[in-house]
Amino acid sequence: MTTDTPRLRLAILGVVVMSLFAALFARLWFLQILAAPTYQVAAESNRVRVVQEEAPRGRILDRQGRVIVENRVSIVVTVERRALDRADDRDDVVYRLAGVLARTPDEIEARLADKRYNQFQPVPVAEDVDEGAVIFIKEHQSQFPGVDVSREAVREYPYGPLAAHLLGYVGEINDEELEAREGNNQKPYQLGDSIGKSGVERIYEDDLRGVPGLVKLEVDSKGNALRTLARRTPFPGNDVQLTVDLDIQALVEQSLAQQLERARQTRSSDNRNVTYPAPAGSAVVMDPRDGSIVAMASYPTYDPRQFIGGITTEAFAVLNDPVNHYPLNNRAIQGQYAPGSTFKLITTAAGLRTGIINAQTTVVDRGSLRIGNRTFRNAGSRAYGPVSTTRAITVSSDVFFYDLGRRFWESRDQYGDAIQATAADFGFGAESGVPLPSEQDGRIPTPDSRRRQHEANPEAFPEGSWFAGDNANLAIGQGEMLVTPLQLANAYASFANGGSLHAPNIASKVLGPDNEVVRELAPRVIHTIDLPPHVREPILEGLVGVTSGRGGTATFVFEGFPLATYPVAAKTGTAQTSGEDNAVFVAFGPAYAPQWVVSVVLEQAGFGATAAAPLARTVFDAVAGQVPIQPVQPVPPLVGLIQPGPVADAAPTTGEPPPPETGTPDQEVLD
């Protein structure tokens, strides 16, 4: 061993020590200089918690500015979970609280375990609590650690179920909705927040939702809140003003319920000792000048107040029970029905536009018509004799339109599917564009669509060919043709205004907190329908004759109405189903300067003239000044407190009543 060996070892050790110190100093420099901002943010986030406060939603107003939906103050009992868990007698506290709030300890525990609520956010365990319970909790605060009382804004419906399908309801946001709205930095959402689930509440969610408030809390190492560092006040949402008139809406809803009840008291048309089922129906009132909806009613209906604070599973099941005919469905846009004779507007327009008929075309109506090996008959096989184009509409001569449908089929090489093309031009077979969710598009059957259905599923659709009889059925609005009541109203509105097919509007403007106009919702024209005088005038004359002409199918309904000064154009329809007939009626007036269109469909209620037309007459009596329109009155609150129970997934249903089945071609079609 040489004398240099210890010196070498010391040198190596020195290098190692210096390297370690250099690495240590480099790390300290990195942590304290380069990474300081990052760790400062992390430390701050450990010390500070940000809790979001939901803002009040904007109001919904009718066209006159009356409040239909607003906010009210609800007394809410909340529990701060950390404070409760620190209590020595935690279970006793829950038991005592359950007794005061008139619910079970399990219900309280279920709310406390709900993961929708932030761990730093007090959990609401009861809403709309009685003042007596609040006083008791305050007077015995030492017995309720972590329990507090707050006042929160919740939805209020002063008119109860009125316009429920239009307005919709609000519920707690679900995971799918939350994911879809990620990235909304101005109005962020979190689990437990409210969101529009259907109707106006859903479509105008971005306007109605306010800007949430924020509270910054300083917390200790255990996560306990120490003090409030900062607060941003919530900013309320904007108001939405509708085109709907509350008084007319109430009139239509009341009349709809009454007409269905009358039908249920009426003996069926085949003289059996039974009455019409009449389980459901809908009605639409529009302004044909701009496509705005003045009223939209669907029956059966529901009360949106049931959804305040979360609807119970039992109540939600009732609303979705087929026995109750699906009250959540808005049949005005979701119900799909054969239009019956109201479709003769389309067939006539197709005939006049192509030139296959003109105003003077006359068919001798002997009560029935033979096409191929089948006989097609008028209602009751009634014979009308020679009928012109105009008179065929007035008396609703099926034979005239059977013959027109047959002629179109025989001339298909020249005219193609002219009836179907005209129907599409008037907005059938497609969504109308109304700003409401779950609208159905109906169906326009064609030879091609039938062939495709057969090829795709020959078992379900055994017939793949189209025949002259199918065209005859289509010509009177039967067969596979399906429309919604809103489509029907919109088609007649476009005819009434001279050819402008609108996308219907339900709102006119969005208003800010100081009532300033944030956004105007102008009328929307989809396209213009070609309706020259030689097409429009014969049809209009025939429709006016329905209420005032000799043999008009609705003259008895409009007896006593001032038709000389306020003419009403209309069309009755009675559409076959697998059960009793659906009653259909559409009217507009004043006929030569239209301001109102009314469309009515009553399911399995009988004749269009006797069951559906009286509802339209009620509306025209009101708007023409024959009877005063009664101002709608607010309704009393629901009986009892609104208490939270097991909360159902309150997503809107998208199903609709089963489509009506058509009868065989040789059955009578009644108006």
Give the count of domains, the chain.
2
Q: Could you list the residue range(s) of the whole structural domain that residue 227 is in? A: 50-239
Q: How far apart are CA 259 and CA 281, in angstroms?
A: 9
Q: Determine contact, residues 358/513, Cβ cutoff 8 Å.
A: no
Interaxial angle between packed helices 344-354 and 533-548, expressed in degrees from 0 to 180 and rounded to the nearest 10: 150
How many CA atoms, within 13 angstroms, populate the side-chain half-sphere of residue 402? 24
Query: Is the separation of the CB atoms in 62 and 238 below 8 Å?
Result: no
* Region label for 290, one of left (φ > 0), alpha (ψ between -120 and 50) or beta (otherwise): alpha
Range 32-58 average pLDDT: 65
Q: Tell the burial category of 186 from Cβ atoms under 10 Å away from its Cβ (0-12, 13-18, 19+).
A: exposed
Q: Are residues 216 and 349 in the same domain?
A: no
Looking at residue 241, its pLDDT comes to 98
Q: What is the DSSP letter of 267?
A: B
Tens digit of each residue's pLDDT (9 = 90 or more) over 42-53: 444 566 667 677
Locate tokens 């039974």: which residue? 274
Q: Are residues 234 and 254 in the same domain?
A: no
Q: Is the dihedral of CA 307, 487, 490, 261 positive or negative?
A: negative
What is the rounded distance in angstroms from the CA atom of residue 251 to the CA atom of residue 630?
8
pLDDT tens per residue across span 504-543: 999 999 999 889 999 999 999 999 999 999 999 999 999 9
Domain final residue pick, 239, 256, 273: 239
Taking alpha carbons only, the member of 371, 197, 306 closest to residue 645 is 306
Whether 221 and 309 map to the same domain: the answer is no
pTM score: 0.84
Higher pLDDT, 306 or 557: 557
| Token digits of residue 360 | 């003077």
Is the distance from CB of 89 to CB of 142 less than 8 angstroms? Answer: no
Residues 224 and 275 in one domain: no
- Domain's final residue, options 184, 214, 239: 239
Position 643 confidence tier, pLDDT thresholds 50, 70, 90: very low
Residue 209 and residue 303 in one domain: no
**pLDDT per residue over 106-143, tens digit each?**
988 888 887 767 666 788 888 888 888 888 888 888 88
What would the two tokens of residue 210 be? 């306010």
Same domain membership, residue 511 and residue 418: yes
Q: What is the pLDDT of residue 332?
A: 98
pLDDT for 518? 96
Q: How far apart are CA 329 and CA 657, in angstroms?
A: 8
Mean pLDDT, the chain, as a whole number?
88
Task: Name the amino acid, one letter, at 317.
Answer: A
Residue 575 has pLDDT above 80, yes or no: yes
Tell me the percentage of the chain whose pLDDT exceeds 70: 88
CA distance 237 to 421: 44
- State the pLDDT at residue 434: 98
Residue 291 sits in a domain whose CATH number is 3.40.710.10
**What's the average model confidence in pLDDT over 420-425?**
98
| Maximal C-alpha separation, the chain | 139
**Same domain? 150 vs 180:** yes
Q: Is residue 70 part of a domain?
A: yes
Tokens of 518: 């944030």
Q: Both 201 and 295 in a single domain?
A: no
Beta-carbon neighbour count of residue 394 at 10 Å? 26
